[in-house]
Amino acid sequence: MPRALLQAMATLFGKAAKVGIFSREAPGEAVLRQFSAPSTMNSAAAQWLEFLDDVRTVGVPRSRMIGGRRCSALLLQPSELTSEHLILACELDQADPIEHAEMIACLARIYGSQIKLLDYSELDTLTGLLNRKTFDETFERLLNASCAPPPDDIIEDLRKSQDEKAPAWLCVIDIDHFKRVNDSFGHLFGDEVLLRMGEHMRKTFRGGDRLFRFGGEEFVVVLNAPSEALAASSFDRFRTSLEKHEFPQIGQVTCSIGFTGVSSMDVSTDVVGRADEALYYAKEHGRNQVCCYERLVTDGAIVRRNTAEMRFAEDIDALFG
Are 148 and 248 found together in one domain?
A: yes
CA–CA–CA angle 223, 211, 6 (5° rounding): 95
Are 104 and 137 found together in one domain?
A: no
Are 71 and 175 found together in one domain?
A: no
> What pLDDT score was predicted for residue 96?
67
Number of domains in the chain: 2
Are 253 and 236 found together in one domain?
A: yes
Are 184 and 297 found together in one domain?
A: yes
Per-residue pLDDT at 97 exceeds 70: no
Question: Is 79 in contact with 115 (CB distance < 8 Å)?
Answer: yes
Are 86 and 14 found together in one domain?
A: yes
> What value does the mean pLDDT of the chain take?
79
Q: Is 217 a catalytic residue?
A: yes
Question: Is 214 in contact with 169 (CB distance < 8 Å)?
Answer: no
> What pLDDT score was predicted for residue 155?
37
- Structural domain ending residue among the three candidates 83, 100, 122: 122
> At 87, which CATH number?
3.30.450.40
- Render pLDDT for 9-63 as a digit per residue (tens, 0 to 9): 777 766 666 777 887 776 666 676 666 655 555 555 666 777 777 787 888 878 8
Which entry of 140, 217, 284, 294 is annotated as an active-site residue? 217
> What pLDDT score was predicted for residue 287?
96
Buried/exposed 119-129: b ≥16 CB within 10 Å, e otherwise = beebbbeebbb
> At 225, which CATH number?
3.30.70.270
* Contacts of 46 by beta carbon, 8 Å cutoff, 6+ apart: none
Total count of residues recorded for the chain = 321
Are 150 and 84 found together in one domain?
A: no
> What pLDDT score was predicted for residue 233?
96
> What pLDDT score was predicted for residue 278?
97
Are 147 and 82 found together in one domain?
A: no
- Structural domain ending residue among the three candidates 79, 100, 122: 122
- Render pLDDT for 140-194 as a digit per residue (tens, 0 to 9): 776 665 333 333 333 344 444 444 568 899 999 999 999 999 999 999 999 999 9
> What pLDDT score was predicted for residue 150?
35
Three-state DSSP string of 164-207: CCCCEEEEEEEECCHHHHHHHHCHHHHHHHHHHHHHHHHHHCCC
- Structural domain ending residue among the three candidates 81, 106, 122: 122
The C-alpha atoms of residue 277 and residue 273 are separated, in whole angstroms, by 6
DSSP 8-class letter at 154 = G
Per-residue pLDDT at 215 exceeds 70: yes
- Render pLDDT for 233-272 as a digit per residue (tens, 0 to 9): 999 999 999 999 999 889 999 999 999 999 888 888 999 9
Stretch 92-102: mean pLDDT: 68
Q: Print the domain residue range for 216.
A: 130-320
Three-state DSSP string of 220-251: EEEEECCCHHHHHHHHHHHHHHHHHCEECCCE
CA distances from 236 to 97, 113, 150 (A): 56, 39, 30
Are 143 and 114 found together in one domain?
A: no
Are 155 and 94 found together in one domain?
A: no
pTM of the full predicted structure? 0.65
Are 111 and 147 found together in one domain?
A: no
> What pLDDT score was predicted for residue 207?
77
Are 203 and 313 found together in one domain?
A: yes
